[in-house]
Structures are given as structure tokens and as C-alpha cells.
Amino acid sequence: MAHDPIADATLELLTRRDPDVATWIAKEAERQATTIELIASENHVSPAVMHAMGTCLTNKYAEGYPGARYYGGCVYHDHIESIARDRAKRLFNCAFANVQPHSGAQANAAVFMALMDPGDTFASLVLSDGGHLSHGMKINLSGKWFKPVHYPLHYDPSHPDFERIDYDAVERVCNEHRPKVLMCGYSAYPRVIDFARMRKAADACGALLVADIAHIAGLVAAGVHPSPFPHAHVVTTTTHKTLRGPRGGLILTDAEDLAKKIDKAVFPGMQGGPLMHVIAAKAVAFGEALQPSFKSYCTQVVANARALAAALIDLGYRITSGGTDNHLMLVDLRPRSDKLTGADAERWLELAGMICNKNGIPQDPRPPKFTSGIRLGSPATTTRGFKEPQMRQVAAWIDQVLAAGVESIGSPTGAATLESTAARVRQEVRSLCQQFPIPG
């Protein structure tokens, strides 16, 4: 990790005050610095974003909104939140922004509260096809308070849009169930979303279109993925992932009447006091994303994802839908070995210093605890400075470790091969990470 005197001083102070916590923070910093982060929903923030979060702003309650707080002493917080809102509106070219949601899931919950009554119907993607738990999982608020109906991907392998959104099915589901809200935007979908086609389906049944762009927000802001505006009535997102900010949520709209409902749903509907230190970090991240260099970054994010996907295909893996248009891909491990599970791959790759997550693939025959796939992403590696050659090297390392892992299954000598292969790759990964340090 690059030298950051402020971070060094902070850790030194914490080490004196609370060595137990400081020890584990230091270990985590070392882990991040020496491993390759391939989880599609994670990234490395800039020192400026990180330092904004660790300020005196954490001391203050600021319930309400700029100019209308329920506590005194918020004059400077009003300025900071106004900067964050103004930058968000510029970034996504919209009229209204609420920067207070603590997470993307809470942003979605607030929007549901604003747009629907308990028991109302909404439509979203089949969750196992790449949706999100806040889009209708039975044990989530969205599935308990509201009535989700789902549209699928194309499941026919002979169809040219195999494993892509079935827009005809979207229209059929909407016409049949007349949902109040149509959700689009996903957590494991590697293709461009046709927001105009989604709006057409919403208009035909009188629904409001909500686009959850948590994964692709940075790409949208940079213009390397189509924007949900002007098609979506409301847009939700996280502020980390491709947007490369702090962990948090954001809600956007062009409609003043919806903005008023959303503000009331966020506070006092869903949350109390906003996290002003996080809002300050959001403002910093939005400012960074407004710079020309951010478009270059996001363009490389997509190029790196495509390079990784192509290299894995060449090595015998299957990428769902045949490739990627954004920052992520779902890797079907079964063509490489029918013994290989996502849980195995996640564990073995972490031994070698490559961090990913097991993930179900569309119509996965295995349960979520094991899965037939892994999800890989390029935002964090691109932040480090990786380009196509490094992504192809990552693909080669992935294959070497997984091949050794498959050999270890049921073999008395295979475990030693896996251990030695993972150890060798771990050292090579560490060396590459030293050449491409994370910000800090």
C-alpha cells in the first residue's frame, strides 16, 4: 500500500489507545494490500474519501435536511450535505438527490415505502438470476411487506439472448400482475440494461420504473453504460462498488412530487440521524467521479472485465450469457470440472491471495451454500492500475489453483499439490500487488 502519513498517524494513535483493535485493522490493511480483490461489489477508495469518513462529523446528530434540521449546530453540515446533493445531481444529470441512505438496501426500502403501501405488488428479476435480496427475497422486508412477482432471463440455450433479460416476459408479467413498481438493475447481471424497453413495459401497466444501479453507477456516471434517466422514475444506488466511494446509499429522481415522498420515507420513515461523516465522504467521491480521469478509469474497468472473461473462456470456463458488457461476470465452473463448486473455488482462491465470492448461476442446480459458479469483477483491480495483461495473468492463476484443487478432491496426494500451488501463486500475487499498490 502506498505511504499515507495520515493513516499511519491514525493507526499509531489507535495502537497506543486500543492495541487489540489496532492489531486487527493493521492485519486487514496488510491483507488488502497484498491480495487481489475480485469481488465485483468492492473497491479501494482514495485516501481523501477515507479521511473524510474519519472526521469530527461523526460527533453530530443532524436529523432532517439542510435548512430544516431538528438539532442545532448543523450549519456546516448543511453545507456539506448540499455539496454532496449538488454533485450527485451533476454526476447523474437529474433534478433531485437524497444522499442520506445508509446503504443500497435501505435506499430501496425507502423507495418502496414512498411508492407503495404494504401488500402492493412489484415486479423484479428472478432473484436467482441475478437480482438482489432487497428486490423481493421472502425473508427481506421487500418480500414480507410487499408482494413480489418476477420476470426471468432467457433460458433457452438456442436463443440468441440466452441468459439475458427476457423483455417480452417483462411485459407479460407486468400486464398480468399490474405491479405498482417495476424494478430493474441487478447484482449479478453482466449485460447492458435496456432502460427504454423497461419504461415501455412500466408505462403499459401504469407502473413506476425504479432502477437499482448499485453495481453500474460508476459506469453510468462516466457514460460507459446507458443512463436510466430519463426513463426511470426513481434511481437507487450504493456509493461504493464502481462509484468508488464510501459504503452507503443514494436515491435520485427528476420528479419533485416523488422527491418529497422519498425524503419523508428516508427520514423519518426509515432512518434517524444521517451519518454526516459518510455523507462528507460521498461528497468527496462524487467530486472525484466528476473528473475526466474517472471516465478513463471506468472505460478500463470494462476493458479489464472483458479481458478476464475472454481469458477464462480460452481456459475452458463458461461465462454466463457468453461474456460481459460491464464490470462483472458469472463464471460457470462445471465445464472445467463437474466436481468443482463455487464454495471450493472461493476457498482455494483465497489461499492463493485472490478474493472472490461463490455465486449461483441462472438455473443453478446447486444450493446457494455451494453454487456452480463464482462472481468476478474488475473495479478494484483497475483502481490498482491493472490492465489487460494483468487480468490475463489473473485468469491463468485462477486456473492453476482450481486445477490443483480439482486434483485434490478424493486424492491422498492432491492436497499437497493444492497447498504448494496455492503457496506459489500467493507469492506471485504478492509480488504483483507490490508493483500495483492500492491508494493510500
Catalytic machinery residues: 61, 63, 212, 238, 241, 247
Q: In Å, how far are 7, 48, 59, 256 from 14, measured between CA atoms? A: 10, 19, 18, 45
d(CA 403, CA 424): 14
Cell digits for 105?
438496501
**In sequence order, what E strands does 152-292 have?**
181-184, 208-212, 234-238, 249-253
Residue type, 300: Q
For residues 434 and 239, give the distance between their C-alpha atoms in angstroms, rounded to a whole number. 27
Instruction: Give percent helix, percent strand, percent coil of the chain, each to the nearest 5.
Output: 50, 15, 35
The rounded distance, in Å, linking the Cα atoms of 149 and 319 is 27
Q: Which residue, 117, 154, 152, 113, is CA-closest to 134?
A: 113
Give the containing element (helix H, strand E) for 376: strand 373-377
Rounded-to-integer distance, Cα 248 and Cα 85, Å: 14
Strands (E), 91-233: 96-98, 121-125, 147-151, 181-184, 208-212
Alpha carbons 214 and 235: distance in angstroms, whole number: 9
Residue type, 198: M
- According to DSSP, the β-strands at 181-184 and 208-212 are parallel
C-beta neighbour count of 219 within 10 angstroms: 26
- Residues facing residue 374 across a β-bridge: 331, 358
Q: How many CA atoms lie within 13 A of 46 on its CB side?
A: 17
Write the DSSP string, 389-402: HHHHHHHHHHHHHH
